[in-house]
Copies of this chain bind each other. A is one copy, B any other.
């Protein structure tokens, strides 16, 4: 009850930047006193800043919230894809996990059912997930932390990459456009992702159906530079044939994913 309410508060604050206490109380259906108390808590957590009459999200919390939301989008598809990708991992090998939300689900899967592996990643959440898991050795790239998705990027990350080679690369993507190219949201991260491709024997792209036919700002690499694509069942036949024409392997995640 309380948590729902606070989540609703966050959502409204995220949507509206700055909202009055009275507004929030009305929208959520709680008393002014309760909203104030909730805002107090959120303030103590460093999520919001309060002023007379209202409150607004702190800049840091906004990006964190956006990340959480992105993580929840098409969660079932992501879990299904992660499960299919999990089946492709070879024990005792070295794999690379990038910093996307789909790949994060793969990390969760590995945590739930550990396989002896060396895992290289540039994603803080991925590392967090796999730390202290039995049989998993985690190696991180260097770099500057990108707040938006807690990835490590930049020259230092690329330099670290130069010293590594992995058996399998599991790559996420922001968009797979109609021109058969993979696109990303951040320039430096897109460039890093492109470099990753050169340092892996097998290259797998993890992308749910909604990513296909979209576009984003920065080119990562042509789709043909990956060997296999793991998608959920919702992918259109048009795209299936396109991928087949391009000679890229397609792995379809079966059904909905449950624990």
Contacts and interface: CB of A to CB of B under 8 A. Distances in A.
Interface in A81-136: 124, 127-128, 131-134
B139 A127 contact: no
Interface centre among A142, A143, A147, A152 (most CB of B within 10 A): A142
A64 interface: yes
16 contacts: A59-B134, A61-B132, A63-B132, A64-B132, A124-B127, A127-B145, A128-B128, A131-B145, A137-B144, A139-B143, A140-B145, A142-B142, A142-B143, A142-B157, A159-B159, A159-B160
A60 interface: yes
Contacts of A61: 132
Contacts of A253: none
How many copies of the chain does the oligomer comprise? 2
A50 B60 CA distance: 40
Contacts of A63: 132
A41 to B, nearest CB: 17
Contact of A156 (B131, B139, B145): B139
Contacts of A59: 132, 134
Nearest to A161: B142
In the A-B complex, the 6 residue pairs with the closest CB atoms: A60-B132, A142-B142, A142-B160, A138-B145, A139-B144, A132-B147
A37 interface: no
Interface string A177-205: 00000000000000000000000000000
A150 interface: yes
A163 interface: yes
Given A138-B144, A142-B142, A160 B156 contact: yes
Nearest to A138: B145
A88 B124 CA distance: 29
B128 A142 contact: no
Contacts of A147: 131-132
A145 B139 contact: yes
